[in-house]
Structure 1
Amino acid sequence: MKTLLCILTLSIFLQLQAQGQEPLKLAVAGLDHGHVGWVFNSMNRGDYEIVGIAEPNRELAEKYAKQHGLSMELFFEDLEKLLDEKKPEAVAAFGNTFQHLAVVEAAAPRGVHVMVEKPLAVSLEHAQKMKALAEKHNIHLLTNYETSWYPTNHRAKELLDSGKVGNLQKVVVRDGHRGPKKIGVGPEFLSWLIDPKLNGGGALMDFGCYGANLMTWLMDGERPISVTAVTQQLQPENNPQVEDDATIIVNYPNAQVIIQASWNWPIGRKDMEVYGLTGTIFADNRNQLRVRMAEGYDGFDEQTYLLPEMEPPYPDPFMLLKAVVRNEIKLPEYDLYSLENNMTVMEILQAAKESAEKGETIYF
């Protein structure tokens, strides 16, 4: 898979050279998100240039500068100063989720586009403020999910839309791992993942957002009618302030999604099952897809597919960000990265938190 991604990266780089395109001027806001390595590992391929990094923690800044061979002149303690001096076209936010609002507050009035790591915000209130700023200042506000790049998820939607398995009835989405501490995330990442203010919660926010995002997309933006959620804390010694397991049932007039978000899976997973009237689609992981067509009472015919990566810019968040900012592509309505999709995600997550706290179904 890594070889294929390298080939795709080289291909897009050669296309950029041939077309004479200037790289996207990109700023990085924050370094305490464990996924920030993506932006540094891909920075030499040519489609974007890191013009500045905002990180008030000097020790953390020096750590990344040494690790990736970066000049300390790239680093700023203050994001607004970075934006005014370096004038980037876009900002990639890699701080804690609570900081997403502050990034948009700084970037939007300056006309700078923003991409945040999932979920969009810690709360619906923060998300609404971010949306208002993005619309007022006419910027793109994207939310990056790993599963947005999965060819299996895109093939599943194509098959569903084609009628292959009949009308959609139920979707089950499972995401998670053994828990942040057990999988050994860095100390700066762990400190806010298990903080209810900085992360908005625990596993419900961290992994519940995937299922809400995918279902909103599969349903072409249809809003649900109710949300019911149950949360548990199965590792109080590791996650003392937040839930580490969540089951969320989201009801629609003619369909339902069950989201299982957990920091207690024995094996890390991101998978989805799509049930229609006549068959089921299993997106087992990024590349393996199974289609099971019903035969009789409990019989079925099953086909397994190993799917190649999607064409650029879709396998990579920074390629996609550049393509959107430069108006090379226009995201379809309720696209996985889109603001309208992720506002619905935040409504679902907010309702799920309320449902778990009150022990009752929340109606939209």
Structure 2
Amino acid sequence: MRKKIVFLLSLLLLNTILYGQNTDQALRVGIIGLTHTHVHWIFGSEPRGDIEIVGIVEPNKELAQRYADEHNFSMDLVYTSLDEMLDKVKPEAVTAFGTIYEHLQVVEAAAPRGIHVMVEKPLAVSIDHATKMKALAEEYKIHLLTNYETTWYPTTHKAYEIVKNKNKIGAIRKIMVHDGHKGPKKIGVNEEFLDWLTDPIQNGGGAEVDFGCYGVNILSWFMDGKRPNSVTAISQQLQPENNPKVNDESIILLQYDDAVAVIQGSWNWPIGRKDMEIYGTVGAVYADNRHDLRLRISEGYDGYQEEVMKLEERKAPYDDPFSLLAAVIREEITLNEFDLNSLENNMLVVEILDAAKKSAETKKTIFLK
């Protein structure tokens, strides 16, 4: 019996050494692609200690060297082949920072190896890709999360608390979400990012995908995962000289039984923004940016009482995508079904975006079954 116990303990120790399953250790993470400039986020997050970057896949050596110089990592971490990195390094999770079209390829490689995945928003370029990714995640029992910048805004969660938990403004009647900036070329994104961000295949669309997805993600959370009855959208190309292959202006209208939503994703805002307005039967919430929020309660015809809030950052691990990823994989926290990062929420996001693109193309309202 004693020999058996010693053997089992030795086996457990070997598993820990090989696969990093000790929950006291940083999560071993691989980075897939460096062409999405949000990748700076994970390099900035690593010093927190929740994750350790153990491998990077990037065939463009010049691009990899630029990141290595900026973030002070060894080029020994960089592989040109996804399969080679996964087999040699054996990360516990990977984060996708390439094109949206490549998200499916990442899951196809990682899931059968039992490796968890976090992708940058949105989950996929189409419902066909998303469905395949979901099936793989379920078959191999991996976590498949999607990261949005607005998930980490304290105002996003305070607005939800006021509306859903405290019921201060009454039943939701209208939500308006505005996201975007002057356009990728105008704000000076690097060439590697611009090449695929303005490509309808690699990005899945234009502004309606790049920025419309934020609003759809938040709406799906606020509406507890309920699918809208219909989707109506318009899109337009206002900067053909900068975005010749895709639209750069979009408005998506969602109709629910008792509420409507207006989602404006644009590359034509003169000033970059990520904000929303939530209107109830007795008041309104204005999440003006990451930290500033206003609550107004109606008085008479056009009067109101206003409370202005300046919010601090949320507590770990709810203030950082990669800390959250580690906590989910370590089973320290469990995501609710339609949480902002959850697979259920982001499957619905892709379904609605597909309907929005179809509506804009056909100039018809799309009714969801």
- Normalised by the length of structure 1, the TM-score is 0.94
Secondary structure in 2 aligned to 1:27?
A: strand
- Corresponding residue for residue 192 of structure 1: 196
1:337 partner letter: N
Work out which of the residue numbers 215, 221, 228 in structure 2 matches 1:217: 221
**Distance (Å, rounded) in 2 between the aligned partners of 1:256 and 1:36:** 34
Secondary structure in 1 aligned to 2:47?
A: coil
- Corresponding residue for residue 211 of structure 2: 207
Work out which of the residue numbers 43, 62, 66 in structure 1 matches 2:65: 62
Work out which of the residue numbers 187, 212, 223 in structure 2 matches 1:183: 187
- Corresponding residue for residue 120 of structure 1: 123
Work out which of the residue numbers 71, 74, 96 in structure 2 matches 1:71: 74
Q: Unaligned stretches of 5+ in structure 2?
A: 1-21
Residue 48 (structure 1) aligned with residue 48 (structure 2): no
Q: For residue 313 of structure 1, report the CA deviation from its aligned partner.
A: 0.3
Identity %: 61
Which range moved further: 66-75 or 276-285? 66-75
CA contact (8 A) 2:23 2:330 kept: no
Work out which of the residue numbers 303, 316, 319 in structure 1 matches 2:307: 303
Q: Which has the larger radius of gyration?
A: 2
> What are the Cα deviations for residues 205-263 of structure 1, in whole angstroms up to 9, with x where unaligned?
00000000000000111111100000010000000000000000011111111000000
**Distance (Å, rounded) in 1 between the aligned partners of 2:73 and 2:161:** 42
Matches within 5 A, 1:328-343: 328-343=332-347
Residue 256 (structure 1) aligned with residue 266 (structure 2): no
1:171 partner letter: I
**Distance (Å, rounded) in 2 between the aligned partners of 1:47 and 1:280:** 37
Q: For residue 67 of structure 1, report the CA deviation from its aligned partner.
A: 2.0
Q: Unaligned stretches of 5+ in structure 1?
A: 1-18
Secondary structure in 2 aligned to 1:126?
A: helix
Residue 138 (structure 1) aligned with residue 164 (structure 2): no
1:175 partner letter: D
Q: For residue 301 of structure 1, report the CA deviation from its aligned partner.
A: 1.1
Matches within 5 A, 1:1-364: 21-161=24-164, 162-364=166-368
Secondary structure in 1 aligned to 2:118?
A: strand
Q: For residue 62 of structure 1, report the CA deviation from its aligned partner.
A: 1.7
1:153 partner letter: T
2:216 partner letter: A
**Distance (Å, rounded) in 1 between the aligned partners of 2:114 and 2:260:** 39
CA shift in 2, pair 1:255/1:322, >3 Å: same
1:41 partner letter: G
Secondary structure in 2 aligned to 1:356?
A: helix
> What are the Cα deviations for residues 321-364 of structure 1, in whole angstroms up to 9, with x where unaligned?
10001101001120000000000000110000000000000000
Secondary structure in 1 aligned to 2:25?
A: coil
**Distance (Å, rounded) in 2 between the aligned partners of 1:205 and 1:84:** 33
- Normalised by the length of structure 2, the TM-score is 0.92
Secondary structure in 1 aligned to 2:243?
A: coil
Secondary structure in 2 aligned to 1:36?
A: helix
2:228 partner letter: P
Q: How many residues align?
A: 346
